[in-house]
């Protein structure tokens, strides 16, 4: 009976990884999901794009390029009944930035069975990352690092682990161009019962550039800024895949995204990912009501598994 129950739990665990519809198939692939709607709307082109405290999980060196300290709260309705929550704060003091964050992913109402018929009960699957980051700016260059405590819980099984993110970025041409690179999720987990869940480590590099900036004529001018964001992400670990991913899951992703900012009030973002992914397209927007910015992102899955909705609020101080 215990073996049957264990088999069922592990089966559900594997199924959850597929239902999660991620690019590597690991239960910890919530770390490959952008925690905020700003990043999701850009199809996660975050290696060089300044999006606030969420840089803890993309490129921590970008924290030092933020103009203001900020607090970020986000909630993402993922597919298959998965909920992701994110909260983080970035404190700027001169050239130094310090940030803390929490990122969690939960799915519940899984049925536990040790025999045919009625379930023996229900259980949930939970993943958690507690993080702290430091970034320091030296002229046009910034260096940053993030340390994460990781925890996964499936039925009564619990495993702990750790991971690190390392990033570097630089601003060029009067800050109109920013380049960045990072190593993300370098770490390991304890065994979950008998098997350790792999940590989805990646190498990422990208550029963000202000393409066009102009204002409308007249006394009440409306400045418009168009920016291009490009990113490359390469998995560093051999990864498994689900049946509905086309291509090799160990191949990298190339992302192109555009953002348009009108008068520091409205922002429209959209991106497209090229590679073995089920969510190539994304779009979103932001509305600024100082000192608060409200953000939203929509990410449809090409396989028909559903559509992601992400909501967030940033407070600047």
Domain map (residue ranges) of the chain: 2-316
Task: Report pLDDT digits (tens) over 165-210.
Answer: 999 999 999 999 999 999 999 999 999 878 889 999 999 999 999 9
Which pTM was predicted?
A: 0.86
Across the chain, mean pLDDT equals: 87
CA–CA distances in Å: residue 236 to residues 17, 24, 124, 251: 19, 11, 29, 10
- Residue 216: count of CB within 10 angstroms of its CB: 11
Can you identify the CATH homologous superfamily of domain 2-316? monomeric porin ompg (2.40.160.40)
Mean pLDDT within 218-224: 72
Are 46 and 39 a contacting pair, CB within 8 Å? yes
| Residue 249 pLDDT | 56
Task: Report pLDDT digits (tens) over 245-255.
Answer: 545 556 799 99
């Amino acid at each position: 009976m215990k073996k049957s129950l264990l088999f069922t739990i592990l089966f559900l665990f594997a199924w959850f990884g597929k239902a999660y519809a991620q690019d590597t198939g690991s239960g910890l692939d919530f770390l490959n999901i952008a925690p905020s709607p700003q990043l999701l709307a850009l199809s996660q082109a975050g290696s060089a794009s300044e999006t606030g405290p969420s840089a803890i999980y993309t490129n921590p060196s970008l924290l030092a390029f933020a103009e203001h300290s900020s607090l970020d709260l986000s909630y993402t309705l993922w597919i298959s009944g998965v909920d992701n929550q994110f909260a983080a704060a970035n404190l700027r003091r001169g050239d130094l930035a310090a940030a803390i964050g929490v990122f969690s992913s939960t799915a519940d109402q899984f049925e536990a069975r040790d025999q045919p018929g009625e379930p023996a009960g229900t259980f949930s699957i939970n993943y958690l990352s507690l993080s702290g980051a430091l970034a320091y700016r030296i002229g046009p260059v910034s260096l940053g690092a993030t340390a994460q405590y990781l925890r996964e819980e499936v039925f009564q099984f619990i495993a702990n682990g750790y991971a690190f993110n390392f990033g570097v970025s630089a601003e060029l041409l009067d800050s109109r161009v920013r380049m960045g690179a990072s190593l993300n999720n370098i770490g390991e987990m304890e065994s979950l019962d008998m098997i350790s869940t792999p940590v989805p480590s990646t190498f990422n590099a990208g550029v963000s550039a202000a393409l066009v900036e102009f204002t409308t004529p007249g006394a009440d001018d409306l400045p418009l800024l168009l920016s291009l964001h490009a990113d490359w992400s390469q998995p560093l670990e051999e990864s498994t895949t689900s049946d509905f991913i086309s291509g090799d899951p160990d191949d990298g992703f190339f992302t192109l995204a555009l953002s348009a900012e009108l008068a520091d009030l409205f922002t429209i973002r959209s991106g497209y990912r090229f590679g073995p992914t089920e969510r190539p397209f994304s779009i979103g927007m932001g509305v600024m009501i100082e000192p608060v910015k409200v953000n939203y992102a929509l990410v449809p899955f090409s396989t028909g598994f559903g559509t992601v909705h992400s909501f967030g609020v940033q407070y600047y101080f």
